[in-house]
Structures are given as structure tokens and as C-alpha cells.
Amino acid sequence: MESYIESLARGAYIASTKLALMPTATKNLLLNEIADAIEARYSEVLEANQKDVDSAVNRALPPALTDRLTLNASRFREMVGGMRQVARLPDPVGRILKGYTVASQLSLMKKSVPFGVVGVIYEARPNVTVDIAALCLKSGNACILRGGSEALNTNRVLHGIMQEILKREGVDQGAITFVDSTDRNDVRELLTLDRYIDVIIPRGGEALHRLCQKESTIPVIVGGFGICHAFVDESADLKRAVDVIINSKVQKPAACNALDTLLLHRSIAEEFMGYLRPLCEEKGIVLNVHGEKLESLVRTLGYKASLITHGREEDFDTEWLSLKLNVAIVDSLDEVLLHLRVHRATHSDSILTNNLDNARRFAANVGSACVYVNAATRFTDGGQFGLGAEVAISTQKLHVRGPMGLEELTTYQWIGTGDYLCRA
Amino acid sequence: MESYIESLARGAYIASTKLALMPTATKNLLLNEIADAIEARYSEVLEANQKDVDSAVNRALPPALTDRLTLNASRFREMVGGMRQVARLPDPVGRILKGYTVASQLSLMKKSVPFGVVGVIYEARPNVTVDIAALCLKSGNACILRGGSEALNTNRVLHGIMQEILKREGVDQGAITFVDSTDRNDVRELLTLDRYIDVIIPRGGEALHRLCQKESTIPVIVGGFGICHAFVDESADLKRAVDVIINSKVQKPAACNALDTLLLHRSIAEEFMGYLRPLCEEKGIVLNVHGEKLESLVRTLGYKASLITHGREEDFDTEWLSLKLNVAIVDSLDEVLLHLRVHRATHSDSILTNNLDNARRFAANVGSACVYVNAATRFTDGGQFGLGAEVAISTQKLHVRGPMGLEELTTYQWIGTGDYLCRA
């Protein structure tokens, strides 16, 4: 007997074979019609969302989670607008990535094609349901959406609206498949259906990514978390460097590309910390200070005790997702490179410098997905990279690194043509 | 306490950070020196290999396996020559894949970089030890080699020679790491060391790939097996099509890109089977015949009974790796497309046709890594694709599909540069 999850996955697989060949204009039409339909049913969606929010409040879920769960007028507008934006982006399917004729006279062409079926496992934010459905549809992939239990009512309504449009337009409804279940075992089962699902994209915290990495027999795009570092060297323009550090930390502290650890060259530490103090107070940044020298420095400089904590070595492996920030003094760029290696920099790291050789050595030696010279770590983002949209941020090395846009939702296929050609 | 495997993996990781920055000329020098050293110790290598072969014979291992295990003068020459060939190929590291400046004035550059540490798990063939070491070295990756127990003596000697050269040239010996163990649990442990190893490449049968897929927490390149299909349609030039079919089947029957299933359009089946008969007899091809119509046809055409077997449905899911070949009659291209979908075509599939629309529909609908129009399935090969070398054939969809060459042994990194740039 086929299980519920298996039948969903098989349905998505069947739909994917048709979706792969859908003309761009049809896909764009569907996206715009879905956006219109969702927009027209604003109050229905917000009513369902209110149920989820009420239940989260009743269950005393963390306020941050309840916030992520909540759809309001502006978030709703952004969600619908995002779908229309995806309709306007170029179709990533059918690009000829390469082509040549080899000596045997075989003509080879490397062409972008959809993955097939993309499984997305995510947490509270209900807009992900619409975002991912749009990106997968545009890239010719069927999707299987498994959202967080907290957002079930909202997700159900959003999925229902999308289904209505697919049905009305005669599109296989498996194209946007929704797992209407809160059973954790269903996630586990999903992760083993490699005969139907081509790739798994987890959207959520580290625990979710680890679960997928451990249990999935399907390739997983791991990402969305990681320690972000910045190093201010002895040559940097310190007043401008402070701005970049502040921007990296406070522009969106809960984002995965927010700064976690600041490393200061010994020779500029005192001056830099002097410039930083008023801004820390203004923004409420809590410095987690490492080392005696720096502890005495912040006392001397008159930092408020309430904005200082004592740093432990293991804090260097903590992604704060808050206004907290590790600060430490280093003696050299070599020490920085070692620190980044020991603490597994994989996401986004920045050097602030006016020294060309330091910039070059930092870029060449730091192994993370995105390395910056004199720019904030916050730039690691599909929109900022000009990709127009973002499915996830990858911190793994296979297939995609950093922002994953529409193009990265495709794979490729080789097409070889000959004149009844045999291999010699 | 760190285990043996863990210490090896950590050593490879440390070496990888240096290898990533090694200049092309140094890598090429090392490759040529290793080739010279192996060549100079021909008799020592062949002596060790003889031990492995003797032991395989004593243990009555299958002759095919013993054959794969055996190094002779020409295989030895090919192995050493392959290493020198890799030295001549372009360095895949440091290519600028893309670059642009976004509206914020952030300059972005997408640059190819090594994976880091590549774990390769392979079976009997000892030349893989040298091939993979060369390809990983050239692409700036440290490798962890875990060969089959049958080839342990040969692999040990080959690895020993490579180590001597690395040591002499002052290169971190972790760059080419060899698992000197035949314990299966060591493979299992290796598959979980995601903190040190970036990608796992299994080279062997389906069971090995499944094990890696199931147990690895490290991304795996799955491939090297799959059912290959060919369809001869009603418009094909039949005499020339027969040549392509024979070439696909007999040029190297044990290869993963050898033909497994031949589908014939009803209207040309009799004529085609008539042309095929003498060639089947000459080459010893055993037809596994599906369907009554075709069974009666082969009797009528006078096929030798010894070259005919009765096909069962499940045989369509069998990769023969021998001179056996499924044959079936179909009514239409649609039936072919359905057959390929049901039987999970993922590797290499070919249509023989003079009909442009059939060619187009076949190429557009078949989802395998390599699709051919009027060419043999045997072309799926790094050398044939002009890649100069081949690590593996991927049948998965993430990162690489089909032949995996030097370029596919790299990933990329984004480097963003600004003038103390903050995100707005």
C-alpha cells in the first residue's frame, strides 16, 4: 500500500514531467493569476493566519516565532508582489550553457533543465509557501511543500488558492504539492523518497539542516546558517570601517548573514573601540568580549557594563541572530585566517582594509561561500546579488554556494547529435 | 581519542588548505615527477599487483574482478600516461565564471575554487588510485582514497611512491591520503566526517552507491550505473542504425554506458531484426526478447536459440554489463517516452531517426544525463566529451551530470568588493 507521503511524491513526479516542458508564457500567466487570486482573497488568508497566531499565543510559543508566523498587510503585499516579480524574471530553463563539436563529429550541447521535483521543508513563515511555489513553477520544477505546523491554517488556505488556479487552467495539480500533516515521521519518509524527489531544500535552523543531512537519501542543499566574521586590519579607514561593522550587525540581526564575530588588529583596537562605543549604545549592541586586554580596554573606554559580556571560546561557534557580537583582538592576518579555519567560516566573511596584499590574501585563503573586501556581510542575498529572487543561501559546496536563485533551481542535460555516429 | 579515519581526514583537511593555493606549475611538476617515479618502479608495482592477483585467484574471486585488478604492461603505461596527460590539461582553479557590479556598487566575481577534501571509495581497479590522485591534485583538492581490499598491496605501493615525491618536494603528505584498511566500518565512519570531507565520489557498483547515498552525511556524487536505452523509429536509416546499436552494445559491454534496452518501432521491427541477426551471431549478442510478436519474429528470422532468452518485465530494470540486450517492439514515440520514465532512464539514451520532430521530442522529454540523436550511448565519457579526463559519470542532478572532469572537481566562491560599502 502506498503511503500518504508516497502518493504525494509520486503525484509531484508525474506533474514534473509535464511542467518541465511548459512554455514560459504559460508559467508567467499562471504566476500572475495565482498572485491575483491570493490578493483577491486577502481577508480569508489573514483570517486563517489569525487562527495560527492565536494558537501560537495560546501555546506560548516564542515571540520571535510568532512574529515570523504573522502575516500583516505589508507582508501580504510583499508576498504577492514577489510572485509577480518572479513572473517578470527570465526563464532559467532551456539556456544553452555550452556547446561544441568534438573530433568524432559528435555535436554536444549542454542545456539547462529543471531538477524535476524539489522538496522544501520549512518552518514558521507562511510566505515561504508562496515564494517557493513561484520559484519552482518558474523553473519548471514540481514542488513538495512541507511547512511548519504553526502555520498550517495559513499554508492550507494559500495552497488551496494555488490549487484552484492550477485546476482552472488545466495544469496537473501535483505541480504544487502540499504536505497537509504535522507528523514529524512524514518528514523522515519524505527524505527517503529519492525515486521521486530530486533535491531537498531545508529552510530553517541548524537542527533542521542537520536532520536532512543525516537522514536524507536525496541530495540536500545545506545552508542558511553559519558564523559571519569581519576583520579590521591596521590599514583600514577606521571611521568608515565602523559603519560597515554596524551595518553588518544591526541592519537585520536575525538574518543568517548578520555579523557574529569582529576581529580587530591589535594596533587599531583602541581607536576603533573608541569610535564603536557611542554606536553600540545607540543600537543596543551587546559586545561579547574575548581576552583580558580587550576587557580592560572596554572598561577604560567607559562602555556600559550592561552592554558587555564575558566571551568564552565556544561563543566563537555561536551564530547570535541577535544584537550580540563577539569581539577579539588579533596580532596578524595569519591569526585571522587560522581563526576562520578553526571556527569553520562557511557563510560570509569580510575584511576592512586599505592594504591590497591583505585583501588579496584574505580573499584567497578564506574558504567561505562569500568573501568581501570593504563591504558588509549583509550583502549575501539573492536580491543584493541581482538574482531577482532567492530560494535559499547555500553554505555547502555542491551545485550552489551563497544565494540560490532561479538559475540554481535548474540542472543541465547533455544533448549529443551525430550522423549515425559510432564510437571508434 | 581521535580514530584512525578521523586523523586521516583531519590531515587531508589541513593539507587541502595549502593545496588550494598551489601554483599550477608546482602541481604540474608534482604530477610529472610522480609519473616518473611510478614508471621507474614498474617491477615493484607489478610484483605487488601479482600478490593481489594470486590472492584473488586463491580466493576464487570472479574472473571479471580479477581481470579488473590486474595491471599489465599496457595498463601500467596507460596509468602513467594518464597522469602526464592531467599535467598538460588546463588548471580548473581560479577561473572567473562570472562578474558584474550591482546597483549598490558592489563588484561581484564568481571564481572557481577547489572543493577542499574529496573522498573516493572504489573497488578493484588499482589504476583508480593514481587517476584520482592526479585529478584531485590538479584541481587543488586533497583526496582520501579508499580502494578495494583485493588491490591493497598494489594500492599501498602506488600510494607509497606518491608519498615519497610529496615528501621530497616539501608538500603536505595529507594531500594524497590513503585508507590502509579493509574494514568496512572505516568506510561507514568516513561517510560521516562532514566536518573534514566536502564530497564523496563512489566508484563502483550500484550497491556501493546506495550505501553512500544512505549513510553519508557528506554530499555524494551518485552515478556510474543506469539503464541505457536506444529507440529506432520508423524513419531511421536502418542499416546505419544497426551499426550504432551494435557499437553501443559491443564496443565495451562492461561499461556503464553500454546499451541495455533496444526499442523498435513496430513498422520497422522485422526489417531491422533481419539486418541485426548476422551481427548478433558474429558478436555473440544474446537478445532478451520481450513480447510474443517479437518472439515469433526471431524464430521466423532464424535466430539461433542459444542467442535468445525470454524477457521478463523486471529485466527492463537490469543493467547487463554483458553482451545481453533487451529488445522490445513499441507502437509509438509516446510509448518509448513512457517506457523510459517507468524504467527511470538517468544515464544515456539514444534515438535513431530521420524525423526532426521525433528527434526534438525525444531530446526534450527524456530526462537522462545524456541524450543522443543518431549517436551511440557509448559516447558518454570524459574523453569523448573532450574533457581530457574523467573522475566519474554522474547520474544525479546536483552539481554535475554525465562525465565529471577536472572543472567539475571545483566549486566556486563569490568575492564581493566595495568601498566600505553598507547595505541600504
Q: CB–CB of A67/A380 below 8 Å?
A: no
| Min Cα–Cα distance to chain A from B273, Å | 18
- Tell which wins on pLDDT, B351 or A391: B351
Q: Which of A255, A252, A249 is nearest to A288 (CA)?
A: A249
The fraction of chain A above a pLDDT of 90, given in percent, is 91
Q: What is the pLDDT of residue B308?
A: 97
- Judge contact between A380 and A393, C-beta under 8 A: yes
Q: Is the dihedral of CA B275, B281, B287, B292 positive or negative?
A: positive
> How many beta carbons lie within 10 A of that of residue A27, not counting itself?
21
Running DSSP on this structure, what letter comes out for residue A285? P
Does B80 score more than 90 pLDDT? yes
- Calpha distance B338→B344 (Å, rounded): 10
pLDDT band at B225 (very low <50, low <70, confident <90, very high): confident
Q: Residue window 275-314, chain B: list those with CB within 8 Å of chain A.
A: none
- B60: number of CA atoms within 13 Å, CB side? 0
C-alpha B415/C-alpha A351 separation (Å) is 11
B251 in contact with A at a CB cutoff of 8 Å? yes
Helix axes A127-138, A24-40, angle to 10 degrees: 160
Does B244 reach chain A within 8 Å, measured CB to CB?
A: yes
Cβ-based contacts under 8 A for chains A and B? 199
Please check whether residue B190 touches A, CB under 8 A: no
pLDDT confidence tier of residue A276, bands split at 50, 70 and 90: very high
| Closest Cβ opposite residue B384 in set A102, A386, A398 | A102
Q: Do B423 and A378 touch (CB under 8 A)?
A: yes
d(CA A375, CA B422): 6
At B417, the pLDDT band (50, 70, 90 cuts) reads very high
Residue B60 scores a pLDDT above 90: yes
Predicted local confidence at residue B235, as pLDDT: 98
CA distance B55 to chain A (A): 36
Q: Is residue A20 predicted with pLDDT exceeding 90?
A: yes
Among candidate residues A104, A101, A110, A109, the one with its CA nearest the CA of residue A420: A104
The total of other beta-carbon atoms located within 10 Å of residue A43's CB is 8
Q: Determine the pLDDT at residue A215.
A: 93
Least confident of A377-386, B216-225, B280-289: B216-225
Within 10 Å of residue A202's Cβ, how many Cβ atoms? 28
Distance CA B174, CA B145 (A): 11
Task: Provide the β-strand partners of residue A237.
Answer: none
Answer whether B97 touches A (CB < 8 Å).
no
A-interface mutation test, from B379, B381, B412, most A Cβ less than 10 A away: B379
Q: What is the pLDDT of residue B222?
A: 87
A94 touches chain B (CB under 8 A): no
- B315-328 pLDDT per residue, tens: 999 999 999 999 99
State the nearest Cα–Cα gap between A58 and chain B, in angstroms: 37
Closest to A199 (Cβ–Cβ): which among B213, B376, B397?
A: B397
pLDDT grade for A351, boundaries at 50, 70 and 90:
very high
A356 to chain B, any CB pair closer than 8 A? The answer is no
Q: Is residue A156 classed as helix, strand or coil in its secondary structure? A: helix
Question: How far away is chain A from the Cα of B383, in angstroms, using its nearest Cα?
Answer: 10
Chain B neighbors of A415, CB-CB under 8 A: 363, 370-373
Query: Scanning every residue of chain B, which has its alpha carbon at the shortest distance from the alpha carbon of A214?
Result: B217
Q: What percent of chain B has pLDDT over 70?
A: 100
Which residue is closest to B197 within chain A, CA to CA? A397
Q: Report chain A's mean pLDDT, rounded to a whole number.
A: 95
Backbone angles phi, psi at A390, to 5 degrees: -145, 130
Dihedral sign computed on CA atoms, order B376, B378, B384, B385? positive
Cβ proximity of A257 and A381 under 8 Å:
yes
Residues of A in contact with B373 (CB under 8 A): 415-418
Residue B374's SS3 state is strand
Judging contacts by C-beta atoms under 8 Å, the chain A residues touching residue B108 are 385-386
Contact between chains at A116 and B397 (C-beta distance less than 8 A): yes
Residue B224, pLDDT > 80, answer no
pLDDT tens per residue across span A39-93: 999 999 999 999 999 999 999 999 888 998 999 999 999 999 999 999 999 999 9
CB atoms within 10 A of CB B74: 8
Determine contact: A207 vs chain B, CB below 8 A. no
* Length of chain A measured in residues: 424
How far is residue A196's CA from residue A215's CA, in Å, rounded to a whole number? Answer: 16
Is 80 exceeded by the pLDDT of residue A304?
Answer: yes
pLDDT for the residue numbered A44: 97
Q: Classify residue B231 as left (phi > 0), alpha (psi -120 to 50) or beta.
A: beta
| Site from A413, A417, A419 to mutate, B interface, most B CB atoms within 10 angstroms | A413
Q: Cβ contacts (< 8 Å) between B119 and chain A: which residues?
A: none
Strand partners, B43: none
Measure in Å the smallest separation between the Cα of B123 and chain A Cα atoms.
Answer: 22
What number of residues does chain B have? 424
Instruction: Tell me which H or E stretch contains A99.
Output: strand A96-101
Which of chain B's residues have a Cβ under 8 Å away from the Cβ of A413? 367-371, 401
Question: How do residues B163-191 score in pLDDT, each as one tens digit?
Answer: 999 999 999 999 999 999 989 999 999 99
Q: Which residue of A has its CA nearest to B252?
A: A423
pLDDT over threshold 90, residue B344: no
Question: Which residue carries 537542527 as its cell?
Answer: A207
**Is the minimum CB–CB distance between B85 and chain A shorter than 8 Å?**
no
d(CA A130, CA A360): 41
How far is it between the farthest Cα atoms of chain A? 82
Query: What radius of gyration, in Å, describes the C-alpha atoms of chain B?
Result: 24
Calculate mean pLDDT across residues A386-391. Answer: 86
- Mean model confidence pLDDT for chain B: 95
pLDDT at position A206: 83
Average pLDDT over residues B75-97: 95
Strands B107-114 and B96-101, sheet pairing = antiparallel
Contact B385 A422 (CB under 8 A): no
Provide the whole-model pTM: 0.92
Given an 8 Å threshold on Cβ–Cβ distance, is A244 in contact with B421?
Answer: yes
CA distance linking residue A245 with residue B175, whole number of Å: 37
Q: List the grid coordinates of B316.
A: 527492463
Closest chain B CA to residue A94: B364
Which of A221, A338, A397 to substitute to test the interface with B, most B CBs within 10 Å? A397
DSSP A419: E
Q: State the smallest CA–CA distance between residue B353 and chain A in angstroms.
A: 9
CB contact under 8 A, B415 and A352: no
3-state SS class at A192 = coil
Tens of pLDDT, residue by residue over A142-201, are 999 999 999 999 999 999 999 999 999 999 999 999 999 989 999 999 999 998 999 999
- Identify the band that residue B13 occupies on the pLDDT scale cut at 50, 70 and 90: very high
> Which residues on chain A are in Cβ contact (under 8 Å) with B402?
414
Query: Which chain B residue is nearest to residue A372, measuring alpha carbons?
Result: B416
* β-sheet with B142-146: strand ranges across: B176-178, B142-146, B117-122, B199-203
Q: Taking CA atoms, what residue in B is nearest to A395?
A: B413
Q: What percent of chain A has pLDDT over 70?
A: 100
Q: Name the closest residue on chain B to residue A388, using Cα atoms.
A: B102
Contact check, Cβ <8 Å, B417/A373? yes
Q: To probe the interface with A, which of B235, B358, B422 has the most A CB atoms within 10 Å? A: B422
Q: How confident is the model at residue B124 (pLDDT cuts 50, 70, 90)?
A: confident
Is the Cβ–Cβ distance between B5 and B190 less than 8 Å? yes
Q: What are phi and psi of B327, to 5 degrees?
A: -130, 135
Whether A224 has a pLDDT exceeding 80, the answer reads: no
Q: Does B245 touch chain A (CB under 8 A)?
A: no
Give burial (CB, 10 Å; 0-12/13-18/19+) of B159: buried
Task: State the DSSP string of A11-72.
Answer: HHHHHHHHHTT--HHHHHHHHHHHHHHHHHTHHHHHHHHHHHHHHHHHTT--HHHHHHH---
Tens-digit pLDDT profile for residues B93-119:
999 999 999 999 999 999 999 999 999
